[in-house]
Amino acid sequence: MVSPLARWSSRGALFAASLILVGVGLHRVASFPTPTAINLFAVGGAVAALSVLLGLVSLIGIWRRGYRGAGSAALGILLPLAVAAWPLTFLPAFLHLPKINDVSTDVAAPPQFATLAKARPADANPASYPGTRVAAEQQTAYPDLRTFVVDRPPEETFELVEETVRKLKWKVASTEPPTSKPARTGTIEATDLTPVIGFTDDISIRVEGVGGRTRVDVRSASRYGRADLGQNAQRVRRFLAELQVQADSTAPTGIASGMRSLRAARARSLVKKVKERDQQKAESRNKRGRDQSSAQRARGQRESLR
């Protein structure tokens, strides 16, 4: 006789795994609503936990009464554990990182969401910055997230920021370049997806010229959930690292102009030297020609005298 509990354990495990995998696929590929996907994950997790419990109870009956179905019971236990293996890797982050979902390089005056505030669903987290508690917890957990300052004009820095966003493959929602006259701050708003499940996070970048230098601030915030498990901080770090690469790989406009002027001066000097060399060669050839002509005339006169 096959243990009924073992049979239901395996069925529940297969159902839970299918429910979770389908939810992930639909949310990632087909823009499935995030609240609905979260509900599917919750139902799948509950069914998976029940399947493990049924599997364990069925193993006791199989051991005591000699029922068949050990394979089904094993499937009901191991399959949910395999599905839960990846979420369990985030357990240390959940236990040790702060329960925040919004980080910024400028916690005193973080970049704001304008276009993306309108795009956020009604049941999503508020678009406004959470406040001093979140700022204090961020500074304790992520003290390395600071404003990026560069000795370049805002217009040139904005181009570096745009290239950085393209490199990171963020989806741009709006862009407004900075201007000097009148003075206007440049902004970029974009979205990015978390790995695997594809939760949408919003990003706001501010490019502002201050005292001959340019400040770049970036803010990343989750649309859903209280804790981001460090995803927003990692995203800001990737942005700052890539922006530094872009800044190091290109010369500022003033330096580039100076280098172009130096190369042009060197080219003019080289052309002048070549012309002078050619002129000296031509004069030398003319002198040799005149000397040869004088010698020929002298020989002709001597022959005439003879």
Q: Judging by DSSP bridges, how do beta strands 102-104 and 200-210 pair with one another?
A: unpaired
Cβ neighbours for 155, distance < 8 A, ≥ 6 positions apart: 177, 178, 179, 180
Answer whether 123's CB lies under 8 Å from 35's CB: yes
Q: Is the per-residue pLDDT at 17 higher than 90?
A: yes
**CA angle, 212 then 217 then 218, to 5°:** 155
174-232 tens-digit pLDDT:
999 998 888 889 999 999 999 888 899 999 999 999 878 999 999 999 999 999 999 99
Distance of alpha carbon 205 from alpha carbon 239, whole angstroms = 10
Answer whether 143's CB lies under 8 Å from 109's CB: no
What is the residue-wise DSSP string for 141-209? H-TT---EEESS-HHHHHHHHHHHHHHHT-EEEEEE--BTTTTB-EEEEEEEE-TTT--EEEEEEEEEE
Domain regions of the chain by residue span: 4-89, 102-250
Portion of the chain with pLDDT greater than 90, in percent:
58
- In this prediction, residue 276 carries a pLDDT of 72
Q: What is the mean pLDDT of the chain?
A: 86
236-275 tens-digit pLDDT:
999 999 999 999 988 775 444 444 444 555 556 665 675 6
- In this prediction, residue 281 carries a pLDDT of 65
Helices of type H across the chain: 4-29, 34-65, 70-88, 91-96, 115-119, 132-141, 154-168, 231-249, 253-305
Task: Answer whether CATH 3.30.530.50 is correct for domain 102-250.
Answer: yes
